């Protein structure tokens, strides 16, 4: 049975607030190193949502022969893996989580094509995105965080050359989808520059008004 997350109020422009089937679906958005993964984990735990991290899904496949090698090539170059691969992977993960109270998408969608295909797939399942949390912070802080993590993460894309490319990809391909969601009036900006608990506090304040 699907657990219920009753909404206290609707998000302007989205009716009824982002879900049928009593699911609440949101996107955590922001540049590399913004804290998407960190905050998504906390939110997912608090509201029992499925944390869908596209980067983590891809990294799980790194040991998988040809596919893993292909993913690694894109990740090491700081480029997006092809939509054909990413979209299929995400749709499979969504299907697995349909009995949960909702999804938090972390690192997905990453371009306009992914955003549109996500909408189509969610609509087919009588679902929609209720909210986009946009973590706002400057590049220097984000780079500092990734470089620090790189000392222990084992992620081959946590190095300065790849980070520069990841930022370029973000600017070119990912930023434009904010407009796509802004026209639906479902984007909330969060100051991502602060300490982890302070960022969490801002997010919780937004979510507690909605859920
Ligand atoms: P992905 O894994 O999504 O990487 P990313 O977007 O570059 O994000 P990061 O994981 O670096 O940062 P984050 O915002 O999650 O921050 P985190 O919480 O980890 O993607 C990697 C690659 O996979 C892409 O380049 C692409 O090749 C491919 N890919 C992924 N999705 C794809 C898609 N949809 N389509 C096509 N290709 C795709 O925090 C970072 C660090 O900072 C951590 O050490 C954390 O502890 C620390 N930290 C967090 N918050 C704070 C804070 N407030 N203060 C201080 N430190 C903090």
In the block, residue with structure tokens 């955003």:
115
Express the helix, strand and coil content of the chain in percent, nearest 5 each.
Answer: 50, 10, 35
Cβ(75) to ligand 1 under 6 A?
yes
Residue among 48, 42, 65 at smallest CA distance from 4: 48
CATH number attached to the domain at 26-210: 3.40.50.300
**Which atom of ligand 1 is found nearest the CA of 149?**
44
Is 142 touching ligand 1 by the criterion CB < 6 Å?
Answer: no
pTM here is 0.93
Nearest by Cα to 19 from 96, 100, 130, 99 = 130
State the pLDDT at residue 39.
98
With a cut of 50, list the residues of the chain below it in pLDDT. 1-4, 6-19
Rounded distance between C-alpha atoms, residue 123 and residue 110, angstroms? 19
pLDDT tens for residues 14-73? 444 444 567 999 999 999 999 999 999 999 999 999 999 999 999 999 999 999 999 999
The response to whether residue 146 sits with its C-beta less than 6 Å from ligand 1 reads yes
How many alpha carbons lie under 13 Å from residue 117 in its C-beta half-sphere? Answer: 17
C-beta 122 within 6 A of ligand 1: no
CA distances from 92 to 28, 57, 78, 115, 169 (A): 20, 11, 24, 16, 25
- Give pLDDT, residue 5: 54
30 lines ligand 1 (CB under 6 A): yes
Q: Does the CA dihedral 192-139-116-63 come out positive or negative?
A: negative
Distance 105 CA to ligand 1 centre (A): 12
pLDDT score recorded for residue 6: 46
Find out whether the beta carbon of 35 lies less than 6 Å from any atom of ligand 1.
Answer: yes
Nearest CA to ligand 1 atom 36: 80
Report pLDDT for 13.
37
The minimum-distance atom of ligand 1 relative to the CA of 158 is: 11
Q: Is residue 195 within 6 Å of ligand 1 at its C-beta?
A: yes
Residue with tokens 């050359």: 161
């Amino acid at each position: 049975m699907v657990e219920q997350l009753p909404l206290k109020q609707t998000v302007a422009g989205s009716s009824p607030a982002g879900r049928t089937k009593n699911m609440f679906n949101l996107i955590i958005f922001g540049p590399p190193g913004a804290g998407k993964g960190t905050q998504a984990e906390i939110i997912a735990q608090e509201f029992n949502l499925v944390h869908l991290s596209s980067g983590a899904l891809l990294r799980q496949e790194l040991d998988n022969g040809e596919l893993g090698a292909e993913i690694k090539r894109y990740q090491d170059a700081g480029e997006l893996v092809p939509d054909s691969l990413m979209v299929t992977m995400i749709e499979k993960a969504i299907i697995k989580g349909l009995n949960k109270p909702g999804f938090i998408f972390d690192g997905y969608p990453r371009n306009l094509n992914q955003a549109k295909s996500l909408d189509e797939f969610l609509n087919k399942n009588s679902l929609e995105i209720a909210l986009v949390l946009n973590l706002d912070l400057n590049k220097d802080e984000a780079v500092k965080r990734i470089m620090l993590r790189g000392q222990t993460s084992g992620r081959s894309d946590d190095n300065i050359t790849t980070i520069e490319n990841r930022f370029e990809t973000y600017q070119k391909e990912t930023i434009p989808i904010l407009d796509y969601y802004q026209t639906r009036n479902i984007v909330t900006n969060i100051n991502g520059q602060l300490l982890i608990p302070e960022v969490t506090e801002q997010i919780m304040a937004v979510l507690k008004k909605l859920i």
